[in-house]
Amino acid sequence: MALKRVHILRVDPGEDLLASIEGFVQEAGIRQAVVLGGYGTLAAYHLHWVTHNRIPTENHFRRGEGGIEILAMNGLVVEGQPHVHVALATPDGAFGGHLEPGCIAYVLCEVFLGEVAGVALSRRRVDVAVEGMGQGTISRLTFEEAGRSSRPGQRWEPKQEEDDDN
């Protein structure tokens, strides 16, 4: 896997953050990328997070308005679909979750995407049973590189280069 190109996206005041990311990804033809980061301010937010540690998951959604700082942003673009998490703060404290439509840029908002090449990322629904958590179907990241593909429980690791000095 290699970093192919870095994209910097400006989201203007009043624009929806997630819709802007989705539109940029589609317009630029980005199929897979790492959300390297982002910062700025929001006039409104809409997030979701899981409410317990059992399978199947249960999501909680929350909206709010006011001067909201984006402290951090990360995630992936897989098969052209962004999956982004953010950490936000108000004078009352910090919180975070999964980015939903309705996060509206306030004064300044910028996002950095690192487009990747050399591996094909995808998400597949798989059945799982985890002791103490339950069983159900979850989304699992998979990756395929020429001659290699991921299996359940496997993580992507770069091929080791042979050391010519030994």
* Whether residue 166 has pLDDT greater than 80: no
Residue 36 contacts by C-beta under 8 Å, 6 or more apart in sequence? 6, 74, 112, 113, 114
Most distant CA pair in the chain, distance: 61
CA distance 105 to 10: 10
> What's residue 119's pLDDT?
86
- The whole-chain average pLDDT of the chain stands at 90
pLDDT tens digit sequence for 88-116? 999 999 999 999 999 999 999 999 999 99
Please, what sign has the CA dihedral across residues 132, 136, 139, 142?
positive
pTM: 0.85
pLDDT tens digit sequence for 9-31? 999 999 999 999 999 999 999 99
3-class DSSP state of 91: coil
